[in-house]
Amino acid sequence: MSDPANANAARVRPYLQLRTEQRTPADWLRAARADPQTRVVVARGTTHLIRYQPQAQIVFVSLEQPAIAALDESRLLLLGWFEGQRCVLADLPAELALELPGTRFEELRPLLAQLREEEMRLLCHAQALLVWRSRHRFCGVCGSPTAPRSAGHVLSCTSPSCAAEFFPRIDPAIIVLVTSGSKALLGRQQSWPPGRYSTLAGFVEAGETLEEAVAREVEEETGVQLEAVHYFASQPWPFPASLMLGFHAQASQTPVRLDGELEDARWFDRTELQSTSGPTLPQPHTIARRLIDHWLGTQAA
């Protein structure tokens, strides 16, 4: 059987060099403007500027582009170094028009299966920061407005008597493929397209370990009790601010007992999952599909 760690070894290499020390200087934007290779990712709300050629691609612009050059510094964030070049995020106000031939603003979720992986990851990073900024415009301690610093990665309360600081946060969620011999346990939500089934998932509760969260979610949703849990890999999921932590788990093949959260859950034989007449599985870019494909590959080995 192949090793899950080895299967994911190539993903350890970061797609984006954060260089967090570059956020500290107060003149970070001056350095960015002085760098002719600086590229700008443009967002408006939770939409991103892209073009199709014919595959979806990020539209990178210059800091000298008139609409970008006119922005207040508070709307610019240093993302890091993408493919060796400094990369800045421009958070456009809703009323600002930016019309470039062949481009349009689109929501990220439909783009995930169309972008190449590196660009998908870059926009996931940008989206997480955008959502965080939109939800922390005011101090959660005293209610005063917040202002960005550290190149946009810290929001500080503007009240001198408070001065609370807020950092980007993520919500940990587990996602697990439960198997028993040659069968895998998949479920579906009522809102999904007909025939779509996926792995089980849920948020980690305060005070829980990840393994406890895996066991609890599986038992709550299906009544199945686990015998072993093994970490597989993770995936950022900024809808709005999750980090999906993937696991494989083993259980005895017991009857499923639904609790009402899922419309259906059942045990599928591996041949069903590989058949064109079987359930519709998650998209290839998702960690849910990677969990399933990895298990099918180890079963075939």
CA 29 to chain centre: 27
CA 45, CA 71: separation in Å to the nearest integer? 15
54 prior amide bond cis, ω within 30: yes
CA 239, CA 299: separation in Å to the nearest integer? 32
CA 295, CA 198: separation in Å to the nearest integer? 13
Domain range annotation of the chain: 15-135, 139-168, 171-300
Q: Which residue, chain included where needed, has tokens 């998949």?
A: 186
Pick the CATH number of 15-135 from 1.10.3470, 2.40.50, 3.90.79, 2.60.40: 3.90.79
Q: What is the pLDDT along the chain (301 residues), one digit of tens a residue?
A: 334 444 454 456 688 999 999 999 999 999 999 999 999 999 999 999 999 989 999 999 999 999 999 999 999 999 999 999 999 999 999 888 888 999 999 999 999 999 999 999 999 999 999 999 999 999 999 999 999 999 999 999 999 999 999 999 999 999 999 999 999 999 999 999 999 999 999 999 999 999 999 999 999 999 999 999 999 999 999 999 999 999 999 999 889 999 888 999 999 999 999 998 999 999 999 999 999 999 999 866 5
Domains 15-135 and 171-300 equal at CATH topology level:
yes
CATH number of 171-300: 3.90.79.10
